[in-house]
């Protein structure tokens, strides 16, 4: 019976994987391309310097830069990205394999600088952080993410959020294929020490505030790194840790509870974005033996009791067919996320004023989302049922 149950589960996983693969499309993995269409200044909406720390091995194809294989050491780079003027908030305009590179139409990497050591990387990072007011944002991508996709996503986030600080991508060695779920989970686990070291490096490089956005399986590596910081009695990076955003977290609920128990109730806000219609996490739940994933957990009050603010986006429209990236591909949400990241550091997560800040968030959503929906925001102190859109 046990083997039959396993076979049925694997069969369901295979079917779902094929369905999800049909949604994925065929994208070119090359981050760097040769000659591109010459773009006039008015055809470019923005230019962004993306700092990179990665546990990926270097790719044999230099256009890919970093591959899905793991490296025993951390590599560092800086990518110059452009966003086309035709860009629509929430979207990532990227070329397909058959299309010609054109920065007037697609996200484009103008060039990349690699660093021979963490010290060299830190010097460049320090200069950028100083020039941008002392703020840094660390983004940790999720499962099934190639290196170019990770760079594009962070570029889209900082552009659409109008983020003024220094963006830092931590890219662990995802295989970038749906069939690599177990490999990716192990890669994220193997990367937790490197992520901890990267957070410390950013803190040493002059950052006054470090915000974190982690997505999907990247939330697992992030929570492990934060847990390790807590074990060393430095859970807030000497007071520099700002907001932590866990978007569609692919973590077993019981594991998350154990991580938070070791970390303790946050001094600064932890925001958890979940959605009951997340198809990617449904696949993950099946693979995990029908155990609920944090990003689809029904009991928001249970999680809020840990000091986490839970924002249920089930009824909010998504830009992807998997409903797995609502935090970034819904134009209103990404703009509001940018507003929250731009706020000062006077917020105290352990006081009832959290309701004021979340109330402001809810009010902003009400004014900007046009389709009728309900967002349920559960804080450690209260539950807000917010009807949004539809002209009401």
31-49 CB burial, b ≥16 within 10 A, e <16: bbbeebeebeeebbeeebb
- Compute the average pLDDT of residues 91-101: 87
pTM tops 0.75 = yes
How far is residue 282's CA from residue 288's CA, in Å, rounded to a whole number? 10
More confident residue, 28 or 76: 76
- Compute the average pLDDT of residues 192-206: 98
3-class secondary-structure state, position 151? helix
- Compute the average pLDDT of residues 116-135: 97
pLDDT digits (tens, 9 = 90+) for 240-285: 999 999 999 999 999 999 999 999 999 888 999 999 888 888 888 8
- Domain of 131 in residue numbering reads as 2-388
- Region of 160 please: left (phi>0), alpha (psi -120 to 50) or beta: alpha
Q: How many domains does the chain have?
A: 1
CATH of the domain at 129: 3.40.50.1820
- Compute the average pLDDT of residues 177-198: 95
Half-sphere exposure of 184 (CA within 13 A, CB side): 22
- Compute the average pLDDT of residues 94-119: 92
- Compute the average pLDDT of residues 189-218: 97
Query: Of 221, 215, 204, nearest to 54 (Cα)?
Result: 221
Assess contact for 322 and 281: CB atoms under 8 A.
Answer: no
- Compute the average pLDDT of residues 202-216: 97
Predicted local confidence at residue 1, as pLDDT: 45
CB atoms within 10 A of CB 71: 15
pLDDT digits (tens, 9 = 90+) for 134-186: 999 999 999 999 999 999 999 999 999 999 999 999 999 999 988 899 999 99
Helix (H) or strand (E) holding 110, with range, is strand 108-115
* Nearest-5° Cα angle at 204, 198 to 208: 105
Predicted local confidence at residue 101, as pLDDT: 86
């Amino acid at each position: 019976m046990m083997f039959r149950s396993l076979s049925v589960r694997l069969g369901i996983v295979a079917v779902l994987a094929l369905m999800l693969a049909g949604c994925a499309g065929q994208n070119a993995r090359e981050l760097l391309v040769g000659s591109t269409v010459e773009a006039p200044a008015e055809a470019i909406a923005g230019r962004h310097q993306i700092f990179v720390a990665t546990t990926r091995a270097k790719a044999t194809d230099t256009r890919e830069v970093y591959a899905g294989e793991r490296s025993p050491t951390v590599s560092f780079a800086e990518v110059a990205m452009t966003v086309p003027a035709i860009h629509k908030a929430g979207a990532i305009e990227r070329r397909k394999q058959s299309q010609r590179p054109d920065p007037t139409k697609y996200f484009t990497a103008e060039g990349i600088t690699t660093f021979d050591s963490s010290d060299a990387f830190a010097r460049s990072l320090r200069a950028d952080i100083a020039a941008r007011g002392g703020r840094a944002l660390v983004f940790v991508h999720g499962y099934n993410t190639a290196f170019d996709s990770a760079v594009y996503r962070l570029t889209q986030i900082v552009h659409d959020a109008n983020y003024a600080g220094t963006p830092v991508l931590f890219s662990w060695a995802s295989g970038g294929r749906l069939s690599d779920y177990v490999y990716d989970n192990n890669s994220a686990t193997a990367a937790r020490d490197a992520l901890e070291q990267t957070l410390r490096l950013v803190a040493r490089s002059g950052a006054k505030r470090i915000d974190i956005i982690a997505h999907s399986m990247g939330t697992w590596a992030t929570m492990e790194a934060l847990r390790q910081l807590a074990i060393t009695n430095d859970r807030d990076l000497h007071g520099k840790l700002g907001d932590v955003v866990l978007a569609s977290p692919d973590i077993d609920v019981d594991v998350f509870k154990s991580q938070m128990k070791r970390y303790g109730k946050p001094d600064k806000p932890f925001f958890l974005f979940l959605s009951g219609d997340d198809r990617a996490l449904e696949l993950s739940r099946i693979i995990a033996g029908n155990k609920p994933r944090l990003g689809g957990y029904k009991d928001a009050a249970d999680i809020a009791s840990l000091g986490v603010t839970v924002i249920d986006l089930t009824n909010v429209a998504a830009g992807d067919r998997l409903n797995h990236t609502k935090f970034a591909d819904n134009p209103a949400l990404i703009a509001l996320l940018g507003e929250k990241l731009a706020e000062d550091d006077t917020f105290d997560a352990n006081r009832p004023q959290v309701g004021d800040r979340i109330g402001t968030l809810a009010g902003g959503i009400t004014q900007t989302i046009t389709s009728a929906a309900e967002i349920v925001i559960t804080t450690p102190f209260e539950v807000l049922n917010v009807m949004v859109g539809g002209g009401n």
